[in-house]
Amino acid sequence: MKDSKDRLEALRAEIERRNPAQPEFHQAVREVLETLAPVFTARPEYADPAVALVERLTEPERQIVFRVPWQDDRGRVHVNRGYRVEFNSALGPYKGGLRFHPSVDIGVVKFLGFEQIFKNALTGLGIGGGKGGSDFDPRGRSDAEVMRFCQSFMTELHRHIGEHTDVPAGDIGVGGREIGYLFGQYRRITNRWEAGVLTGKGQGWGGSAIRPQATGYGSVLFAAEMLKVRGESLDGLTAVVSGSGNVAQYTIEKLQQLGANPLTCSDSQGYVVDEKGIDLALLQQVKEVERGRVMQYAERRGASARFVPARRVWEVPADIAFPSATQNELDAQDARTLVAAGVKAVSEGANMPTTPEAVRILQQAGVAFGPGKAANAGGVAVSALEMSQNAGRVAWSAQRVEEELAAIMRSIHAVAHETAERYGAPGDYVTGANIAGFERVADAMLAQGVI
């Protein structure tokens, strides 16, 4: 065990040396490597230096960086940077979203792509790991400006993707509008109706039912499974939810369907706490139709709601918490606050939203903690189901897709829970998810040789 830990520590140091100024990627790799020592002891073939399996797993198969010039409504030309990191295809074509946000850089895209490898493996579906995006900010831009940007972005990206190669989807800043513009440009350039090249499409032209809801729904379903193991349910519990985008909205919806009361939502300006529970229809009107801020929700909701500027939702006492906005949004102090308030479970709807120290505090306090690579895998799971529907040129009912999603989330919970117990870490979903995902990818890599 000590030799394995020493080797993994040396590998981690080498990865950080070779990938400078990429803290999110370093964090994601460290979190996985810290859990793998017992696997190397049990399965020495994974640690064989002759095949360098972990070294290959932590190095992307391909990293693509490109210029994205586009023209705004005043005729001014802007230049953004586009990215696609095709990380690992041992289990299937690269699969992972596109993020349009000013914070996007190569390190952020690599962290997301690395996480995606294990998340996709946990679904049990035939998809590899990748991620992409741009430092373009769609906020405040007209539909015409967003369209021109997406067309320029796809003009370069199209040569690297395809339904058997790499299948992007949406992420922060990339919703149905952006996917539509991207798909239109792909079709224009290639002269092919290749529906399976992008997921998250409109339901009337190749998209899947439940895809917009899938990540939020899945996060809640995973939380329900964690509570079920402990003899509890969501019914009657209060919840804090961060964010106000797609993931947060459908986390709120599924919580309400299962009898819980979500009290909060947030954006970069602050958060809203609504003692009656979030009015989802009003939130969606403000965010999706008007593209406004959560402050406007509070102004229109009435006396039950108040807006708290420049603070985070974790100070609101609740039974369960769903970080559903962005990476590292829940830190150590937030974790202590949640523990002091008696939180029972935390389920990550976003990618790596909880800092490593915060995770340790929650786990040491006995809080059920669902890591993003397991808890938020519902989105990519339904994306893979969309690919299946596209391949057969069929459309499944919403009921069938939701049943499939629920079965996949139960399976992910079961394999993470069982794997954690098998490796001597009962109840540790971080260890269980990391090892279960790693074993599936590693076995495929060993079978396919050194490539």
The β-bridge relationship of strands 166-169 and 305-309 is: unpaired
DSSP string, 371-411: -HHHHTTHHHHHHHHHHHHHHHT----HHHHHHHHHHHHHH
Q: Cα angle at 173 between 208 and 251, to 5 degrees?
A: 60
**Cβ pair 91, 122 in contact under 8 A:** no
3 state DSSP class of 252 = helix
**Cβ pair 324, 219 in contact under 8 A:** yes
Instruction: Name every residue whose Cβ is closer than 8 Å to that of residue 76 and which is 6 or more positions away in sequence.
Output: none
Give the chain's end-to-end CA distance (angstroms, integer).
28
**Cβ pair 178, 100 in contact under 8 A:** yes
131 counts as catalytic: yes
Long-range own/partner contacts, residues 414-422 (CB < 8 A, 24 or more apart): 414/225, 415/122, 416/122, 416/374, 417/229
Across the chain, how many H-helices and E-strands are there? Answer: 17, 13
Tokens found for residue 193: 């109706």
3 state DSSP class of 110 = helix
Q: How far is CA 20 from CA 17, 23, 62, in A?
A: 6, 8, 18
- CA proximity to 127, closest of 425, 384, 395: 384
Strand partners, 166: 94, 162
- CA proximity to 427, closest of 415, 419, 417: 417
**Cβ pair 412, 222 in contact under 8 A:** yes
- Catalytic-role residue among 95, 110, 119, 131: 131
Task: Give the sheet arrangement for strand 320-322, strand by strand.
Answer: 261-262, 238-241, 320-322, 345-347, 368-370
**Cβ pair 188, 157 in contact under 8 A:** no
State the catalytic residues: 131
